[in-house]
Structure 1
Amino acid sequence: MQLIRDAEIENTIRIYATPLFQAAGLSPQGITLYLVKDRALNAFVAGGLNMFINTGLLIETKEPGEVIGVIAHETGHISGGHLARSGAALDQTYATLIATYLLGLGAALATGEAGVGAAVLSGGQDIALRGLLQYTRTQETSADQAAVNLLRATEQSPQGLMNFMESLSGQEVLLTNNQDPYLRTHPLTQDRIDFLRQAMRESPYANKPPDPELVVLHNRMRAKLIGFLEPLNQVLRQYPLSDTNLPARYARAIAYYRVPDIDKALAEIDALLAEQPDDPYFRELKGQMLLEHGRVAEAVPEYQSAVLSLPDSSQIRLALARAQIALDSREMDRAALENLTVTLAREPSNAGAWRLSAIAYGRLGDQAMTALSLAESALARGKYVEARDRADHAAGLLPENTASWLRAQDLKNEAERRLKKQN
């Protein structure tokens, strides 16, 4: 399995999910969303407040209501406490599984890819997921009911969820290996389909069309995923040159960049920027194109423009910091540390950001903070012996009782605690 990161796609999913989480009485900030690079239709929750959504589901759904319906259903599993009832033995398995995903995520951020970064995880975990995420029919019915209630509370139609479930119903006759994982882990019955059809008849929002702004976001998200994940010939089949709509041009710009054909890629993205010069994701993409083709000095202003539009985006800040560090100047290293501080305030377990911090501090001659940053990175990657030793080294260099010295002590103690737990 692979996890991917992308600021625009994660923001779109957050926009879909936040009203549902709030309606369910859940803190949106308390739920972590993960994108799984997998063609299969699937979404699931695990380890408490962690929701995983396959790229295949995002690409194959034609309108936002389908994804929103699935998120509403998965939110029903969370609010219903279905995972908590799995028992203490499974709790530890979930914790281990999520920890491994988080490590994979840290590795993805350390790859240097600003847009879509990937971390390869053990294929054996897919087997574990199939075994652990076998929701009962009772839980599925309960989650459907919760989903319908959440959609009503947010004044949205259950049409999308019903369409998604009906698209899966035809797979029931297939052999298990040919079914989408969603069907294997979420038992589908005719009663559930009938319930959703009845919900459509009773909903005051049944015929409410999708929000046009969400349709725009959905089409951009699909185009971006297709551009990054499909070969050029497939992209051009889905988005031929005759298609001059924004999503088509966006997908082609990404596909050309991946070939790589940097001239065509820049021509496409520059045309989009001519129409929408303040779009942060277009700026981010152009910065990525330039950075990965060695044109670092040109990439930095593009990332800076993106940050000006989205100052709270930890991922775009991280990309800017990476480009600034690539320029290899003391001024840029200091600027990179400012951006990394913002990233790490939001993602304190981001191993890649800590690694970049160590590089910047090292160049600036701050050995203590270099050691402390490397200790943070090691802990985030699960390298507990390294984390303990580097934290101990940092503590010896830092003034006692300062915030950084206390953090070094905490890191050392946490690394030792985890080592004992492993043994």
Structure 2
Amino acid sequence: MILLLCLAPAVLADGLPELGDLSRIDFSPAMEQRTGESIMRDIRLHEPGYISDPEINGYLNHLGSRLLSQSSEARQNFEFFALRDPSLNAFAMPGGYIGVHTGLITATRSESELASVLAHEISHVTQHHLARQISSQSQGQLPMLLALAVAILASRSNSDLAQGALMTGQAASIQNQLNYSRDFEREADRLGLQLLENAGFDVRAMADFFERLQKYGRLYENNAPGYLRTHPLTSERIADLENRIHERPYRQVADSLDYLLVRTKLRASEGSPQDAVTEFTSQIREHKYSNEIAARYGLTVALARAQDYAKAEQEIATLRKLKADSPMIESISADLRRKQNDPAGALKILRTAQVRYPQARGLAYALTDTLLTTHQTQEALQFIQEDLQNYPNDARMHELLARTYAALGKTLQQHRAQAEAYALQGQLLMAIEQLQLAQKLGENDYFEQSKVDARLRELKQRHAEETKEMKEK
């Protein structure tokens, strides 16, 4: 789903990107990327529903990468992220940013269903449907457009950004104009289905999930899922999908444990802690689950929320007996140790788990944070420096590096690390400010001074180029 929000100048003052008159926009791939980065920065900073959980977003990006590996048209980087919202929705933004509501994730009945939604959204991006839609609508029709912002915000009841953006009837009119056309939807269906099949998923899942959405929309016409408002589902589309699927061989695909745990974690995080405990306890007692490991993990999450750590530890013990193999289980096990004031126990779990699951970003962050909390700063510094060799663009790890240097009293290095974190998040002015602070501290160290000066020149030039480009557009 991609919508266009018409923002008044007062809203722009709050930090949304100024893009000028859309009727003059040459919406090139470079412009799409810049626009998407600006919108994504605002989501991270101002959208309360944005989920920074590395386990959830890490899984979505892993699933997305599996689909993208089958696309010959994905010539850009993609980022998949979740927004905490009970509504059934997903959306694609310029620059390859794809968001999914938690309500949609928890509503899926299989990993293939979730993959089908991501495959559909990926196809909207690779076919540049936003740019093509804007081109068809922009000739003299949008002279008051001052910014491009996120589609999802318009359909969410708790979005602060949407409340500021949707102030005029013209804004709603523009959104309606930019809902995906039926031709674009059919194209995304066709290409998404091919991605789904090539990546080894059950192609029937796309038609099954879309058909459930359509039935839901008919039952609750006045409160239809946001996905239906921007992705018009017709009987013709469903029939076309079913015809394409009928031509393909039957393939039954098992859900990954990662999918089951992520979906369960989100379900266990909804409502009150006690209600969640009651729900998962009932599922386990009555054997109403498709996977016992996922059900007991959900109960563990719920018990941790309810601060019933003793019972949560009992569930961890049961999970170990079931030979549950997932970094998410190690992560919550360590978290329970920390919450019970046992950082040594947490470190033991995290050190072992980090060796076993070296690519699990959540474990890397938890290990670093626990090392810093227990004042083992030199070990933390060594771990971060080694980690950044493999993940140089990890903004959160650069923030942890800044925190580590602060603990060591190395202020210049602290400012440099924080500058990198800001730069990776697209906050160039804040990054420049940090480097200017570092510049004042490096006067007697030529080597450090030269590195700071070079990076400062680079970021200033980048900021000037982006500012010039936005003004020209």
TM-score by length of 1: 0.80
Q: Report the Cα distance in structure 1 between the residues aligned to 2:335 and 2:75, rounded to whole angstroms.
A: 29
Which residue in the other structure is 1:158 paired with? 203
Q: Report the Cα distance in structure 1 between the residues aligned to 2:61 and 2:398, rounded to whole angstroms.
A: 25
Which residue in the other structure is 1:237 paired with? 279
Which residue in the other structure is 1:108 paired with? none
- Name the aligned partner's letter for residue 178 of structure 1: N
Which residue in the other structure is 2:398 paired with? 354
The correspondence for 1:64, drawn from 103, 106, 111, is 111
Asked if the contact 1:38/1:54 (under 8 Å) is kept, the reply is yes
Is residue 309 of structure 2 the alignment partner of residue 262 of structure 1?
yes
- Name the aligned partner's letter for residue 308 of structure 2: D
Q: Which has the higher contact order (CA 8 A, sep 6+)?
A: 2
* Structure 1 residues 4-43: Cα deviation after superposition (integer angstroms, max 9, x where no partner): 2344444443453334212221559821111111111111
Is residue 184 of structure 2 the alignment partner of residue 139 of structure 1?
yes
The correspondence for 1:208, drawn from 251, 256, 260, is 251
Residue aligned with 1:3, SS: coil
The correspondence for 1:281, drawn from 328, 331, 346, is 328
Is residue 92 of structure 2 the alignment partner of residue 48 of structure 1?
no
Is residue 161 of structure 2 the alignment partner of residue 122 of structure 1?
yes
Quote how far apart the aligned CAs of 1:415 are: 5.4
Which residue in the other structure is 2:263 paired with? 222
Asked if the contact 1:283/1:303 (under 8 Å) is kept, the reply is yes
Is residue 213 of structure 2 the alignment partner of residue 168 of structure 1?
yes
Q: Report the Cα distance in structure 1 between the residues aligned to 2:334 and 2:73, rounded to whole angstroms.
A: 36
Residue aligned with 2:161, SS: coil
C-alpha change, 1:68 and 1:379, in structure 2 (3 Å) is closer
* Structure 1 residues 196-249: Cα deviation after superposition (integer angstroms, max 9, x where no partner): 121232222xx3112x2x354432222122122343324532552414811111
Is residue 293 of structure 2 the alignment partner of residue 246 of structure 1?
yes
Residue aligned with 2:51, SS: strand
C-alpha change, 1:32 and 1:325, in structure 2 (3 Å) is same
The correspondence for 1:308, drawn from 323, 342, 355, is 355
- Structure 2 unaligned blocks of 5 or more: 1-46
* Structure 1 residues 66-101: Cα deviation after superposition (integer angstroms, max 9, x where no partner): 11221221122122221222437799844x659x9x
Q: Report the Cα distance in structure 1 between the residues aligned to 2:349 and 2:76, rounded to whole angstroms.
A: 29
Q: How does 1:281-300 map to 2 (within 5 A)?
A: 281-300=328-347
Is residue 443 of structure 2 the alignment partner of residue 399 of structure 1?
no
Quote how far apart the aligned CAs of 1:186 are: 0.5
The correspondence for 2:84, drawn from 37, 45, 54, is 37
C-alpha change, 1:304 and 1:124, in structure 2 (3 Å) is farther
C-alpha RMSD over aligned residues: 3.5
C-alpha change, 1:296 and 1:409, in structure 2 (3 Å) is farther
Q: Report the Cα distance in structure 2 between the residues aligned to 1:154 and 1:359, rounded to whole angstroms.
A: 40
TM-score by length of 2: 0.73
Quote how far apart the aligned CAs of 1:151 are: 3.2
C-alpha change, 1:71 and 1:324, in structure 2 (3 Å) is same
Q: Report the Cα distance in structure 2 between the residues aligned to 1:420 and 1:324, rounded to whole angstroms.
A: 44
Moved more, 52-61 or 216-225: 216-225
Quote how far apart the aligned CAs of 1:175 are: 6.6
The correspondence for 2:72, drawn from 25, 37, 40, is 25
Residue aligned with 1:356, SS: helix
Residue aligned with 2:50, SS: strand
The correspondence for 1:375, drawn from 415, 419, 426, is 419
Q: How does 1:172-191 map to 2 (within 5 A)?
A: 172-173=217-218, 178-191=223-236
* Identity score, percent: 23
Quote how far apart the aligned CAs of 1:304 are: 1.7
Asked if the contact 2:402/2:413 (under 8 Å) is kept, the reply is yes
Asked if the contact 2:185/2:231 (under 8 Å) is kept, the reply is yes
Asked if the contact 1:3/1:37 (under 8 Å) is kept, the reply is yes
Q: Report the Cα distance in structure 2 between the residues aligned to 1:51 and 1:58, rounded to whole angstroms.
A: 13
Q: Report the Cα distance in structure 2 between the residues aligned to 1:36 and 1:176, rounded to whole angstroms.
A: 24
Quote how far apart the aligned CAs of 1:326 are: 0.7
The correspondence for 1:390, drawn from 434, 438, 442, is 434
Q: Report the Cα distance in structure 2 between the residues aligned to 1:277 and 1:68, rounded to whole angstroms.
A: 24
Quote how far apart the aligned CAs of 1:296 are: 2.3
* Structure 1 residues 228-271: Cα deviation after superposition (integer angstroms, max 9, x where no partner): 23433245325524148111110000100011111111221233
Moved more, 176-185 or 408-417: 408-417
Residue aligned with 1:41, SS: coil
Residue aligned with 1:83, SS: helix
Moved more, 176-185 or 122-131: 122-131
* Structure 1 residues 317-342: Cα deviation after superposition (integer angstroms, max 9, x where no partner): 12211111111244344345336635
Residue aligned with 1:268, SS: helix
Q: Report the Cα distance in structure 2 between the residues aligned to 1:292 and 1:28, rounded to whole angstroms.
A: 44
C-alpha change, 1:93 and 1:276, in structure 2 (3 Å) is farther
Which residue in the other structure is 1:327 paired with? 374
C-alpha change, 1:197 and 1:344, in structure 2 (3 Å) is closer
Quote how far apart the aligned CAs of 1:297 are: 2.5
- Name the aligned partner's letter for residue 208 of structure 1: R
Q: Report the Cα distance in structure 2 between the residues aligned to 1:299 and 1:61, rounded to whole angstroms.
A: 33
Which residue in the other structure is 2:392 paired with? 345
Quote how far apart the aligned CAs of 1:382 are: 6.4
Q: Report the Cα distance in structure 2 between the residues aligned to 1:313 and 1:416, rounded to whole angstroms.
A: 36
Asked if the contact 1:32/1:51 (under 8 Å) is kept, the reply is yes
Q: Report the Cα distance in structure 2 between the residues aligned to 1:92 and 1:302, rounded to whole angstroms.
A: 51
Residue aligned with 2:91, SS: strand
